[in-house]
Amino acid sequence: MIALQFGLSLVFFVLFIGYFLTADARKRMQLSLALTASLVLLCLSSLFVKGEDGQWKIKIKPGLDLRGGTQFLLELAGEADRSAVDQAVEVIRKRVDTAGVAEPVIQPVGDKRIIVQIPGVSEADKISYRRQLEKVAKLEFTLVHPESDALIEKASGRVPEVPFDFQVRKLRDRGRSGELVEAPLVVKRRPEMSGKNVANAYRSVDPLGRPVVIIEFNNEGRERFGKLTEQNIGRRMAVVLDGEVYSAPVIRTAIYGSCEISGGNMSAAEAEELASVLKNPLENPVAIVDERGVDPSLGASSVQSGITAGWMSLVAVTLFLLLYYRWLGLVAVFGLVINILILCGLLAQFGFTLTLPGLAGLILTIGIGVDANVLVFERIREEMNRHRSGLETVASGFQHAFSSILDANVTTVIAAAILFWQGSGPVQGFATVLCLGIFSSLFAALVVSRTGSEWLADRGGKAKLHMTTLFHETRYNFLAWRRPAYLLSVLLLAAGAAAVGVRGIKALGVDFTGGDLVTLRFQEKIDDGRVRSALGNLAEVAQYQRSPVGQDEILSLRTAFGKGEPAVAKLQQDFPSAGFTQIQLDKVAPIVGEELKKNALIALILGVVGIFLYVAWRFESAFAIGAIVALIHDVLISLGIFVLLGRELSLPMVGAILAVAGYSINDTIVIFDRIRETFRGGLHGNRAEAMNLAINQTLSRTLMTSATTVLAILVLFLFGGRVINDFALILLIGILVGTYSSILIASPIALAAGGKKS
């Protein structure tokens, strides 16, 4: 397979150079067919992989938010160096792999953090993994005070008075019914032996069939443990793990072999966990500062809803393009399919995992791809009466549209590159998809769609290039409407600001504030007043939410960090008939929430600065000011309306907001590019007239692009399921606001910023 991919890559590279060096249109069409075929084969070979069962599978993996599973973000205590992080990664990998988990992702993040992703883990099972990850596995063997029971009994429930070189530890045990029992035990403060000489640990059973853990020592450990037991026959010795006494048996004889930890009525699962952590001890303690879990049933439902909505979106956009652009619409649809195939092939080649923010980048890529085709087709429409042949018309249309396509995509690449540089994992995922998507969109538009258009023109002449006309030579004075537009924008911004002010920190999800967000499924609905009363101070917010598709309803709880699972346990205890089942849990430490918020803001600010500098260089500073004001305008209004509708801002929404910013700048740049062209055409002396003319000339393109993108996202909003609903909503708001601002806000601001310059 590698040899095949290398050969296809070499063929593609040679054909690519030949395509752009060929001036003859017909030869270029032939080269384009071979070029596209080689790239499609290369993408297919990367996208599909043959599994062990002989079935071909798609190589792109859905993220945990789409397929279910658990993600932990661990932070090492103290000033951990790189070797400590590497050791922790290796230990955690062994612990998780021992549990038989398929394809976990374990990798360092930053200086002292480790991300652990475990797919396919239900909410009920992840407690076991959490215990394994957090245990340091510091094993100690220490002697018990001969009068331990008497000292405890004498204290009568108070803290017992013990000699200076002794301390009180908790003896961890389980009753016969399975409940956890803890009893105080007086042990020596300084251990007789540590666990550094442990060579192996495994689960076994005692003569009564109860699970135990057998510890095997290396040569040095066997000698030390043998002498220790030989010298203390008749005394109790405590086996201490991470400060808890697991067992404290009486030494009956010298033991020069293995040691047994009984733990009373330890379950088989607990014995397996204990053996795993003893074999793989951590040098540095770790804390879970961020935890996200989605039950596989919810993840599978999200994937199915997303696939269904995706197909429906593609069909809807296809019908729209065919009805409006006719034969050229067929070319656009073919180019869109190739665009998606190339992007998916590139994602598979890089081993990308598709999450919700990545899905936003994919949706924006489709919008950019459609936009490029619409730009070209609208220019072809304008060139119809200026050229004699269809081939000349197509060539002129692509030539005039190239500048707009280039500027729109370069500004988007600048934003994506800065986001990748400064952003966190989800934001980087969005940026990666967007950058690769721009490459696939440019190839699909400038090679595939051009070849298709030239083939139509060559076979059927200009007759095959005709398309439906909704806006023909409009003469609207858009700049005259700038004051009402400013007033509307101020009102929308004020409404959004008021909504944010009223809701306050409740408008931000736990991703940015810290805390727990729990989603529960239920069989019997309990009045929300009774739910809040039962939870008391355990939950900050408890509300029912209905799925946008079907009649499914869930209960959402928001609590302080670490209080989510106790809140669930309280509801399950108080309302057993309700059948509350946890299907999703997000736990974010406050410090992590602050970091995510800061990183997202820095990335957005740097992206804005980068776009401003590029637009100022390509156009002039007045246009750069107009573009940036429109971008900030779109982001703020989209956020405000989103909050006004009672939705909550979470980390995946950052990807949606970035998609809105990308769409906004793309839309605005196209209009500015036409304004610049109009200036060069002789209307430089009257800036307002030139701007109005340019907006009218691009009106059809602006509305057609928005209509196709809105159509695709509207289907996701209506049929994509609960997980995608918020995501699609903010994209819908952003595209509508972005279309409005590119026409009625960006150009008037650029005109005002330019002053009387002529």
Structural domain contains residue 67: no
Burial class of residue 336 (count of CB atoms within 10 Å of its CB; 0-12, 13-18, 19+)? buried
Digit-coded pLDDT (tens) for 286-325: 888 888 777 666 656 666 666 677 677 778 888 888 888 8
Statement to judge: residues 267 and 375 lie in one domain? no
Statement to judge: residues 567 and 701 lie in one domain? no
Structural domain contains residue 473: no
Average pLDDT score over residue span 454-477: 81
Statement to judge: residues 262 and 137 lie in one domain? yes
Structural domain contains residue 40: yes
Give the pLDDT band (50/70/90) at residue 491.
Answer: very high
Statement to judge: residues 196 and 339 lie in one domain? no
395-401 contacts: CB < 8 A, separation 24 or more?
395/25, 395/454, 397/453, 398/446, 398/450, 398/453, 400/677, 401/372, 401/375, 401/376
Residues 6+ apart with CB under 8 A from 208: none
Statement to judge: residues 11 and 134 lie in one domain? no
Asked whether the beta carbons of 209 and 114 are under 8 A apart, the reply is no
Average confidence score pLDDT of the chain: 81
Among 127-136, 374-383, 492-501, 692-701, name the one with the lowest average pLDDT.
127-136
Q: Please indicate, yes or no, whether the overall pTM of this predicted structure exceeds 0.75.
A: no
Domain boundary among 243, 263, 289: 289
Structural domain contains residue 64: no
Burial class of residue 517 (count of CB atoms within 10 Å of its CB; 0-12, 13-18, 19+)? buried
Angle between helices 746-754 and 687-697 (to 10 degrees): 160
Domain that holds residue 391: 295-465+479-498+593-754
Q: What string of DSSP letters covers 159-200?
A: PPP--TTEEEEEEEEE-TTS-EEEEEEEEESS-SEESTTEEE
CA angle at residue 393 from 320 to 370, to 5 degrees?
Answer: 30
Buried-exposed string 703-719: b where 16+ CB fall within 10 A, e elsewhere = ebbbbbbbbbbbbbbeb
Statement to judge: residues 23 and 117 lie in one domain? no
Q: Which residue is it, tokens 């160096």?
A: 81
Statement to judge: residues 675 and 611 lie in one domain? yes
Q: What pLDDT is stored for residue 758 in this prediction? A: 41
Statement to judge: residues 283 and 319 lie in one domain? no
Element (H, E) at 569: helix 564-574
Give the pLDDT band (50/70/90) at residue 641.
Answer: very high
Start-to-end CA span in the chain (Å): 61
Structural domain contains residue 667: yes
Structural domain contains residue 503: no
Q: Which residue is it, tokens 């980048």?
A: 361
Structural domain contains residue 399: yes
Q: Could you give the C-alpha distances from 299 to 64, 294, 744, in angstroms and in order?
A: 7, 6, 41
Domain boundary among 554, 588, 622: 588
Structural domain contains residue 68: no
Give the pLDDT band (50/70/90) at residue 642.
Answer: very high
Residue 424, pLDDT above cutoff 70: no
Q: How many domains does the chain have?
A: 4
Statement to judge: residues 619 and 750 lie in one domain? yes
Statement to judge: residues 567 and 597 lie in one domain? no
CA–CA separation, 330 and 325 (whole Å): 8
How far is C-alpha 332 from the geometric centre of its chain's CA atoms?
30
Looking up residue 216, the CATH number of its domain turns out to be 3.30.1360.200
Statement to judge: residues 710 and 730 lie in one domain? yes
Q: What is the pairing mode between strands 166-174 and 244-247?
A: parallel
Residue 685, pLDDT above cutoff 70: no
Among 113-117, 237-241, 292-296, 481-485, name the one with the lowest average pLDDT.
292-296
Give the residue, 486 or 424, on which the prediction is more confident: 486
Statement to judge: residues 163 and 183 lie in one domain? yes
Residue 407, pLDDT above cutoff 60: yes
Looking up residue 537, the CATH number of its domain turns out to be 3.30.70
Q: What pLDDT is stored for residue 712 in this prediction? A: 77
Domain boundary among 588, 611, 644: 588
